[in-house]
A and B are shown apart, each in its own frame.
Chain A
């Protein structure tokens, strides 16, 4: 049963070793002469804003909205995959049921669209 996953496990091990060894080797090979200016965050040459430290940064709330909408439609796509494989057996019934589901989803999509949820100003 688990042997089915052996090929991808082998590939994963190869990939992980390749990446980890690359990073390890390079950290030994390269020089290490840090200084405060070199280690400062890059902000086009000016002194970095302390707010940009990890956890302190802000970005437009739009991206949050996109993430929420993505969840909705991605879950829909996930529902479509098992349906796609058995559609031939379900025939018209399956098509009708999924049609209702997609129509309901499309209605909320249209609502978000008219509400301006997809506008980037």
Chain B
């Protein structure tokens, strides 16, 4: 390794840094423009062509603002929290390949800052450290709303990290490697016909799980409860101003881009795509594919914000713990089973077994109503028992009065009065 190698490393790192920073500025502008269009407004359109310079102007403005720290705040933690958030956001994308490989002279340059064995675990690890930035920001402010916002968002992030981690595990099983370049290479070529071998097709459930978790992890609408303006003012960043606020804001939007990039890397073939033309075009095309794919996801993120109302907190936690987690666990085991099956068994046997399995499932599907009807009869063994807490004093199969007419009128004395 000589100075030229080091220079290449620095150049690739600076390239990624610049790409992500410019992307963040464009995302903030694009979000405001797109949401404005969806709400029949104009959006920022004054600075530069179509308001492109708006984000720069906002950033510059924040730098000239007074840096206010609440008297109650823990001074050092209060300073450290936005730094943790921003630095973590700025190093998370190290493992993501943002372009192809090309040769200059006798050296091969691949547009990926770092390609370690642990690969995409780096993203999960940095995501976990990012929680510290948020919870410390909330705690150190010495104020009510930031604290509540901080614990809310940390609880939300760790809850969805589980489903995300398991969805990632399914992809790791399918690929047999954690390395980002291996995962991208596994998606080269075609599955059948002209359909590319992107993981989004065989790993569709993992893709859905990961996408929902990504929205929750980045605290984007409809999962933006930590910032719930109506109840928590602004969540963990309420007491921040000036450049510290700018850092938190930057980290949030950069995480959106990074999550989209991880989605593209894991499920949409990363920078893969048809290559053609002269060498210079071949070198640039993968980056273009990558940027376009990420851009599509960014648009979906913005679209979600303009479309969906915010979830209630208990429903948010229910979705994470009661739906996504068991489903992700199931999908991991199913993936493991199919991978082992494909490795050890011949194709014809697998197809025969699958046909028998499908037949059994179909029979069960049509028989199921018979059993469920029997189970829901009064005294039939508690057909509604599933949703009941364990300490419920009601005896096993007692049928509850369902219709209003069955209920003694004294049970509900005040409901209709005085409305």
CB distance from B380 to the nearest CB of A (A): 20
Cα–Cα, bound, A43→B143 (Å): 8
Q: Report yes or no: B322 in contact with A34, Cβ–Cβ below 8 A.
A: no
- A47 within 8 A of partner (CB): no
Interface bracket on A:
35 or more
Q: Report yes or no: A59 in contact with B322, Cβ–Cβ below 8 A.
A: no
CB distance from B196 to the nearest CB of A (A): 23
Point out the residues of chain A lying under 8 angstroms from B337, CB to CB.
95
Point out the residues of chain B lying under 8 angstroms from A88, CB to CB.
176, 339-340, 343
Q: Report yes or no: A39 in contact with B71, Cβ–Cβ below 8 A.
A: yes
B-contact bits for A52-64, CB 8 A (1 contact / 0 none): 1110010100110
A-contact bits for B1-19, CB 8 A (1 contact / 0 none): 1000010011011101100
Cα–Cα, bound, A53→B243 (Å): 23
Cα–Cα, bound, A53→B71 (Å): 9
Q: Report yes or no: B343 in contact with A70, Cβ–Cβ below 8 A.
A: no
CB distance from B319 to the nearest CB of A (A): 11
Q: Report yes or no: B246 in contact with A41, Cβ–Cβ below 8 A.
A: no
Q: Report yes or no: B238 in contact with A42, Cβ–Cβ below 8 A.
A: yes
CB distance from B229 to the nearest CB of A (A): 12
Q: Report yes or no: B243 in contact with A52, Cβ–Cβ below 8 A.
A: no
Point out the residues of chain B lying under 8 angstroms from A77, CB to CB.
162, 165-166, 169
Main secondary structure of the interface of A (DSSP, over half): helix
Interface bracket on B:
35 or more
Question: Known: A10-B10, A19-B87, A59-B151. Is A85-B178 also a contact (CB below 8 A)?
Answer: yes
Cα–Cα, bound, A29→B64 (Å): 6
Q: Report yes or no: A91 in contact with B340, Cβ–Cβ below 8 A.
A: yes
Q: Which residue of B lies closest to A72 (CB)?
A: B162
CB distance from B1 to the nearest CB of A (A): 6
- B262 within 8 A of partner (CB): no
A-contact bits for B42-74, CB 8 A (1 contact / 0 none): 000000000000000000001111111111111
Question: Known: A33-B66, A54-B142. Is A23-B79 also a contact (CB below 8 A)?
Answer: yes
Give 8 nearest A-B pairs by CB, closest first.
A26-B243, A15-B90, A120-B314, A41-B143, A84-B172, A77-B165, A7-B114, A70-B158
- What are 24 contact pairs spanning A and B, CB under 8 A? A5-B114, A6-B6, A7-B94, A8-B116, A10-B9, A11-B16, A19-B82, A19-B87, A22-B246, A26-B62, A26-B63, A26-B65, A30-B66, A31-B66, A41-B72, A52-B144, A54-B74, A59-B151, A62-B155, A74-B158, A81-B178, A109-B326, A118-B317, A118-B322
